[in-house]
Amino acid sequence: MNDQNENVLNPLPPGYRSLVPFSREHFKGMGRRKGAGAGFMSELNSVLIMTPEFFQAARHYPIVFAKDFSGRFIPVGVTGFEEKQNLFVDADGYWRTDAYLPAYVRRWPFFTVQPESDPKKHFICVDKTGLEPSDEPFLDENGEPMVVYHGTTQGNTTTFRGPVWLAYEREIAVAYAEDSEAGDGTVVPLYAAIQNPLVLDTPEKVEA
């Protein structure tokens, strides 16, 4: 996966114009193309919906199961009733602000590829047409990741400005959310990886 001119998938994911490995060497100083919005979806009458999104997405899109290029059935949200019609992308190429924004749209121009030869590995790839030289690049001059605020999730950050409860079970989280004083609690999936955890059996084992 080193050729920056050859697409790593054929056919390409819906809406993508190219898909190459995202490398530190080739994409230093590059950022998301300004004004790109969701224009890449403007001629697609459906959008991939991930399982954790069903609850939110179903409020805005009919969810159906359609065959992908490999013949597998995948869940998609219907965004148009005619070929090359997307009723959720406006004339300026932006997704309607009154509708849920699917993860498939948010992650563009990036895409994760899982090679058949080694299913345990995942490669981050990118649609080159969605990048341009930027004063807010993904990587600095040394090829190290920059901390870039994700504007599309700005509204969700308000969730963490008030009380936060963590729960193993979704049902428990929902109960806390519905019982919140504000009455508008939100359940957000959270995944954490703890390296070298310190396990304490009893408080007595902790020395002052």
Q: Note the pLDDT tens digit of each residue in 57-93.
A: 999 999 999 988 888 899 999 999 999 999 999 999 9
Residues 174, 93, single domain; the answer is no
pLDDT digits (tens, 9 = 90+) for 83-129: 999 999 999 999 999 999 999 999 999 998 887 777 777 888 999 99
Is residue 88 in a domain?
yes
Residue with the two structure tokens 């697609």: 44
- Is the distance from CB of 44 to CB of 15 less than 8 angstroms? yes
User: Nearest-CA neighbor of 109 among 10, 192, 17?
Assistant: 17
Is residue 142 in a domain?
yes
Residues 91, 114, single domain; the answer is yes
> What does the radius of gyration of the chain's CA atoms come to, in whole angstroms?
21
Is residue 1 in a domain?
no
* Polymer length in residues for the chain: 208
Residues 98, 133, single domain; the answer is yes
**What is the count of structural domains for the chain?**
2
Which range of residues forms the domain containing residue 126?
Answer: 20-147
User: Nearest-CA neighbor of 56 among 89, 100, 96, 105?
Assistant: 100
Percent over 90 (pLDDT), the chain: 42
Is residue 9 in a domain?
no
pLDDT value at position 8? Answer: 81
What pTM does this model have?
0.67
